[in-house]
Structure 1
Amino acid sequence: MANLAGEHDDKEKNILLSSQKLSSSDQDPEPGLLTSDNANLKQVTWSGHDDPSNPLNWSHAKKWTATLLVSCFTFISPVSSTMVAPALDTMASDLKVKSETEQYLMMSIFLLAYALGPFIIAPLSEMYGRVVVLQSANMFYLVFNIVCGFATTSGQMFAFRFLSGFGGSAPQAIGGGVLSDCWRKEERGAATALYSLMPFLGPAVGPIAGGYLTQYMSWRWIFWIVSIADAVVQVLAFCFLSETYAPTILATKRRNLQKKTRNDKLHTQYDSPDRTFGQELRKNLVRPVKMLFTQPAIQALALYRGYQYGLMYLVLASFPTVWEVVYRENSGTASLNYLSLGIGFVLGLQFCGRALDMICIGLKRHYKHDGRPEFRVPLMVPGGLLVPCGLFIYGWTAYFKTHWIVPNIGAAIFAFGLIISFQCAQTYVLDAYSRYAASATGAAAFVRTIAGFAFPLFADSLYKNLGLGWGNSLLGFVSLGLGTVAPVLLWFYGERLRAKSTYCAG
């Protein structure tokens, strides 16, 4: 019996739970149980290093299935945020909206809810599991996005768009946690690159589809087409998306063993029997707010990512002026220029996904270290330089009315640098806050989305006062400062900042 306990010790030494001696009064334990000297008091854990129920041990096919499905959800809701942009005039006419502010709110109110949602949805996923919360929230989004197509007044549209935005925020609140659950640090770069691409690619693709749907069908079909696509992804998720959150998986395993053994004292390391449901709920709901206001690493990266995300929405807001006013293209042709951003994002994904993991592995060998979040930082430097470079090219070539391909090249370079910068910051957060990745990404996403909501508000006055050349140059100079200073500070002081946190991994 002592040998059996020793075998369990060997199996479990690299798992989060500490091994304990087997009581002589107990029978041979079930796989995945650690027993204590107190009779009938057993801790439920993984069955070993290679336990197939542990998401870190899933096959690559299963991990990529989860990544692709979550990424599809993360793509669809940002599409909803900008897809209505080409149809705002038509919608305002049908819904009798006269104020320009109200007209803009029909689009941006979605982002307002998108920013608030993660503060509730992310902690709920750390109580009940990623998948059940993600799919429930997506169904909520799906219902209200469909109803948007039937709105007959501006008040209905505002209400339905806000509620659909709340449900649509789930993928950005939970997706980072899913990736942290099932991918190891040295494997995480490519998966996170794909996931991080979607919040950028969605707003770039949305206006193209929205423009043609409005022109050839009706603005109402904008909502219905997106809902059909979302419903297809939801069905696939019901069939193929498994739970990834370790505490939830072990809690399910504990309940099954309790039924089998009739031992109510079985527990996991994540159980908190001394807390009531209300206390646990309050603790989880407060966590992302607390992390946003107390974690310097999250604050620094949230501001960095927020500025970059706001830049994207500001550039998107300038596209109609550049292509329809300066280059005098019709709305359908003008919408095709959004493809330059999409091309930049996709090329950035291909480069960053591979480079990020290679750099991380190389630095681990060089420093003989098993991995630090700061190993994600070096790639932020070229990303931080490409963003202002793209802005300068886009702004000044549009100002001088050069051939239309040149500002598109500038926009593509801007997008290329944007996805690299965002990806590095996203992966840093996942590495630093693995268990609380959902709360950490939800807190950072709040700042990012508020920036996306606010930046377009001053786009018109910025370009009217400074013009396309100097307006984009001002944005580029600020981005250049952030893109060079932030990586240096994180590289030298990131570990010190994380050492003060009780939420960081390790």
Structure 2
Amino acid sequence: MSSRSSSLTHVPTYPARPPSKPHPMVSSSRSSLTRVDHDEAGCTSKDHILPKIADSMVPFKTVPTDPAKVQPSVASEWLVDPENPRNWSNFRKGYITAIVSLYTFVSPLSSSIMAPGLAEIQQQYNIMNQAILAMTLSIFLLSFGIGPLFLAPLSEMYGRKWILHIGNLLSIFFNLGCALAPSTATLLLFRFLMGLSGSAPVACGGAVISDLFNEEERASAMALYTLGPLIGPVLGPICGGFIAQTIGVHYVYFVLAGLTACASLVGIPLLRETYGPLVQLRQASRCVDSEKKLQPVEDRHDPTKKRNLGYVWVNLSRPWVLLFRSFICFTLSLYMAFLYGIYYLFFTTLNGLFTKTYGFSLGITGLMYGGLGVGFLLATFSGAEFSNILYKHLVKKNGGVGEPEMRIPPLFLGSIFVPIGLFWYGWSAEAHLHWIMPVIGSGLFGFGMMLSFLPIQLYLVQAFKYAASALSGAILFRSMLGFAFPLFGSQMFSAMGYGWGNTLLGGFAICLGIPFPIYIYYRGAALRAKSDLNH
């Protein structure tokens, strides 16, 4: 054994195997990553694993996670390998989830923190068009939805870690650009770039949760991760209202730059790569013996040669394919997008409601967004536990076999709370009832929205092999509506009033949120069986 091989103490050593008996690595009829050969040192041979991983990039979540349920004849050392992210300690999984959630909290915070200061922005930049004024807030979401279309596939090619780091570092500079913008056009440009860089955590975060946790553990971690993109925009106006009122709206961007820098200071030294195929690829690279290292690259199957334009195109086009060719992905993403559009409609209309109707100051108006936040928090803690208990119950009834459709039932409850919250908020605002009434209505909507988002994201992660691409398609859809809804919200409520305007939105929520999830619950397995998009 070479001295180099013997010094690799951090790589687990396995018993030698006869070369005539290859060991299967992944039990999957659709995967080209079917076997791993070992040298006499027990290390994975790069001759076999590198081209296989590069060709297929099999997502880690397709690998079984419970060795007790795998037949000994097909069990792989990867299932019990300490470098397998699903075998990391609960402490390590926890802090990695917390770091990703921090990244995912800071970037959406940028989307709404300026909402209470829109009047000041209008005055400073002399913006006369209400649509342009709303766009200074919502243009963030335009690029926030576009970014994951290429960032998510890139994370499935090159890993999650540095996609997250680079996006967060760029956000620091774009926040400073917004703070110093001399004109409306410059402000819009940097807001657009902020959304692009800020989309990295949302593009990769759900896939990181899938990398770390198996199906039965995933709900609580996904709830923590999902809370970031939803609670961030709620806390943004609360902080932004007081900042804009005291020292000026432009200072919110200096605050954002500082928070983003702090997130990078924590994340860069602590975050580890979680994407299984890349971890295995690097493991194989470390284990290759010295004789093979002396061979020219051309004699080995260098995976970088596989990454031509065709390979890149297949990966970058995958989110579009999943979104528009899968009925399941499209309908669930459409419902998420509709709720997200209403959510951002609150940011451009709630401020006017409480300043004009109730006479509140900017700082106090920012506190009124807290109703949404309370709803999100209640749904996070109760919904995650409820989802886990119900999923385990359904798995047990199904003979221990879990199906993605078992994630759908909590969505039924969330779809009921959404229209209730909209009706409550709209008609209490229309009647000028006590200010707590529309706040309660917004909280009911937030509760239903969070209770709907969690099962949809869990379903997409479990049903589709390329989790990051499936989620990025959904993010594109919801960000587009989040961008569009504020552009017409003020006009709609001016013409219809808060009562009938929210009644219209509640009616659409019923049409999208009740029949389609029921259909997918009963027919989802058959639809997936007819499609090759989830394999």
TM-score higher than 0.5? yes
Q: How many Å separate the matches in 2 of 1:68 and 1:452? A: 26
Aligned residue number for residue 282 of structure 1: 313
Q: How far is the alpha carbon of 1:118 from its aligned partner?
A: 1.0
Aligned residue number for residue 416 of structure 1: 447
Q: Do 2:216 and 2:392's aligned partners in 1 also have CA atoms closer than 8 Å?
A: yes
Aligned residue number for residue 501 of structure 2: 471
- Name the CA shift for 1:114/1:43 in 2 (closer, same or farther; >3 Å): closer
Aligned residue number for residue 397 of structure 1: 428
Aligned residue number for residue 66 of structure 2: none
- Name the CA shift for 1:354/1:33 in 2 (closer, same or farther; >3 Å): farther
- Name the CA shift for 1:102/1:42 in 2 (closer, same or farther; >3 Å): closer
Q: How far is the alpha carbon of 1:427 from its aligned partner?
A: 0.6
Aligned residue number for residue 150 of structure 1: 180
- Name the CA shift for 1:33/1:43 in 2 (closer, same or farther; >3 Å): farther
Q: How far is the alpha carbon of 1:107 from its aligned partner?
A: 1.5
Q: How many Å separate the matches in 1 of 2:329 and 2:337? A: 11
1:438 pairs with 2:468:
yes
Q: How many Å separate the matches in 1 of 2:344 and 2:428? A: 20
- Name the CA shift for 1:259/1:288 in 2 (closer, same or farther; >3 Å): farther
Q: Do 2:131 and 2:488's aligned partners in 1 also have CA atoms closer than 8 Å?
A: no
For structure 1, the residue ranges without an aligned partner over 5 or more in a row are none
Equivalent position SS for 1:49 = helix
What is the identity, as a one-letter code, of the residue corresponding to 1:410? G
Q: How many Å separate the matches in 1 of 2:428 and 2:384? A: 30
Q: Do 1:348 and 1:420's aligned partners in 2 also have CA atoms closer than 8 Å?
A: yes
Q: How many Å separate the matches in 2 of 1:398 and 1:42? A: 60
Aligned residue number for residue 302 of structure 1: 333
- Name the CA shift for 1:7/1:348 in 2 (closer, same or farther; >3 Å): farther
Q: How many Å separate the matches in 2 of 1:254 and 1:3? A: 16
Q: Do 2:420 and 2:445's aligned partners in 1 also have CA atoms closer than 8 Å?
A: yes
Q: How many Å separate the matches in 1 of 2:117 and 2:250? A: 9
Correspondent of 1:140 among 154, 165, 170:
170
Equivalent position SS for 2:80 = coil
1:89 pairs with 2:101:
no
- TM-align CA RMSD: 2.9
Q: How far is the alpha carbon of 1:105 from its aligned partner?
A: 2.0
Match runs of 1:70-89 below 5 Å = 70-89=100-119
The superposition leaves residues 329-358 of structure 1 with CA deviations (integer Å, 9 ceiling, x where unpaired) of: 222222211111101100100011111111
Q: How many Å separate the matches in 1 of 2:397 and 2:287? A: 45
Q: How many Å separate the matches in 2 of 1:357 and 1:282? A: 37
Q: How many Å separate the matches in 2 of 1:83 and 1:3? A: 59
1:125 pairs with 2:194:
no
What is the identity, as a one-letter code, of the residue corresponding to 2:206? G
The superposition leaves residues 17-74 of structure 1 with CA deviations (integer Å, 9 ceiling, x where unpaired) of: 544787xxxx5242445998xxx99999973421111111111111121211111111
Bigger drift between 330-339 and 7-16 goes to 7-16
Q: Do 1:384 and 1:484's aligned partners in 2 also have CA atoms closer than 8 Å?
A: yes
Q: How far is the alpha carbon of 1:454 from its aligned partner?
A: 0.8
- Name the CA shift for 1:338/1:385 in 2 (closer, same or farther; >3 Å): same
Q: Do 1:83 and 1:203's aligned partners in 2 also have CA atoms closer than 8 Å?
A: yes
Q: How many Å separate the matches in 2 of 1:461 and 1:345? A: 28
Q: How far is the alpha carbon of 1:411 from its aligned partner?
A: 1.3
Bigger drift between 489-498 and 380-389 goes to 489-498
Q: TM (normalized to structure 1)? A: 0.90
Equivalent position SS for 2:432 = coil
Identity rate, percent: 34
1:202 pairs with 2:214:
no
Equivalent position SS for 1:151 = coil
Correspondent of 2:248 among 218, 231, 242:
218
Correspondent of 2:219 among 183, 189, 192:
189
Q: How many Å separate the matches in 2 of 1:82 and 1:370? A: 42
Q: How many Å separate the matches in 2 of 1:256 and 1:214? A: 53
**Alignment size in residue pairs:** 495
Q: How far is the alpha carbon of 1:299 from its aligned partner?
A: 0.7
Aligned residue number for residue 359 of structure 1: 390
Aligned residue number for residue 30 of structure 1: 42
1:311 pairs with 2:323:
no
Q: How many Å separate the matches in 1 of 2:165 and 2:52? A: 33
Q: How many Å separate the matches in 2 of 1:41 and 1:288? A: 24
1:384 pairs with 2:415:
yes
For structure 2, the residue ranges without an aligned partner over 5 or more in a row are 1-13, 55-62, 64-75
Q: How many Å separate the matches in 2 of 1:350 and 1:322? A: 30
Q: How many Å separate the matches in 1 of 2:490 and 2:144? A: 23
Equivalent position SS for 1:379 = helix
Aligned residue number for residue 234 of structure 1: 264
Q: How many Å separate the matches in 2 of 1:241 and 1:160? A: 27
Match runs of 1:449-464 below 5 Å = 449-464=479-494
Q: TM (normalized to structure 2)? A: 0.86
Correspondent of 2:193 among 150, 156, 163:
163
What is the identity, as a one-letter code, of the residue corresponding to 1:328? G
Q: Do 1:395 and 1:472's aligned partners in 2 also have CA atoms closer than 8 Å?
A: yes
Q: How many Å separate the matches in 2 of 1:281 and 1:35? A: 23
Equivalent position SS for 2:342 = helix
1:114 pairs with 2:144:
yes
Bigger drift between 191-200 and 326-335 goes to 326-335
Q: Do 1:42 and 1:265's aligned partners in 2 also have CA atoms closer than 8 Å?
A: no
Q: How many Å separate the matches in 2 of 1:201 and 1:115? A: 18
Q: How many Å separate the matches in 1 of 2:51 and 2:224? A: 44
Q: How many Å separate the matches in 1 of 2:320 and 2:257? A: 31
Aligned residue number for residue 98 of structure 2: 68
Q: How many Å separate the matches in 1 of 2:521 and 2:319? A: 24
